[in-house]
């Protein structure tokens, strides 16, 4: 691991996908990421097709032909390249950004990606998922500082999720 990657890892929080569900306020699919060492929660809204790709992997459903993220995983394997981690790296103008970290023959490479694609690939590659501390803090501040009813409702709803609520994604 190089010094740049070590520095970046110190500024990141490891998370797990806690669930995939429909946002009760917007009726849009969202992925809920949970800090594995704390109680931080980060919802990321995604499109229908991206949510379906993640739902298939959460449910370990196989398809007769490879889906896009399966194809990408297979191409990387074919080129002897490992996905070592994905990072939700930025939040700019209400848009999340992600980076996919790859290793091929000891050489580290990064790819810019949408978080939904990075997360779908991370699940298929069975690699760790991180969120930059700045993004987690920004999300926390927005949830606490925004006084609209919908953001307050969403914050309370996310805090009170239980295992029965999560993973029940219906299209």
Q: Give me the pLDDT at residue 147, please.
A: 39
Residues of the chain under the 50 pLDDT cut = 7, 147-150, 168-171
CB 132 within 8 A of CB 90: yes
Q: What are the strands of the beta sheet with 41-45, ordered from one edge? A: 41-45, 29-35, 12-22, 129-132, 82-92, 95-104, 107-113
Q: What is the pTM of this model?
A: 0.80
Tokens linked to 149: 């009813």
Q: Give me the pLDDT at residue 153, please.
A: 55
The pLDDT mean for the chain works out to: 85
**Domain residue limits, the chain:** 3-159
Q: How far, in Å, are 25, 34, 43, 84 from residue 95 at the CA level?
A: 18, 19, 12, 24
**Into which CATH architecture does domain 3-159 fall?**
Roll (3.10)
């Amino acid at each position: 691991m190089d010094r740049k990657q070590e520095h970046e890892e110190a500024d990141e929080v490891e998370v797990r996908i806690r669930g995939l569900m429909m946002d009760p306020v917007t009726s849009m699919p969202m992925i809920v990421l949970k800090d594995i060492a704390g109680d931080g929660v980060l919802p990321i809204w995604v499109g229908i097709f991206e949510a379906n790709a993640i739902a298939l992997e959460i449910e370990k459903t196989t398809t007769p032909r490879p889906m896009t993220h399966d194809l990408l995983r297979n191409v990387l394997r074919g080129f002897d390249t490992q996905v070592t981690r994905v990072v939700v790296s930025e939040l700019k103008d209400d848009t999340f950004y992600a980076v996919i970290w790859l290793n091929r023959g000891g050489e580290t490479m990064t790819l810019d990606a949408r978080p939904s694609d990075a997360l779908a690939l991370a699940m298929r590659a069975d690699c760790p998922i991180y969120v930059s501390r700045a993004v987690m803090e920004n999300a926390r501040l927005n949830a606490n500082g925004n006084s609209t009813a919908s953001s307050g409702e969403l914050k309370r709803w996310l805090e009170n999720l239980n295992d029965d609520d999560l993973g029940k994604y219906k299209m």
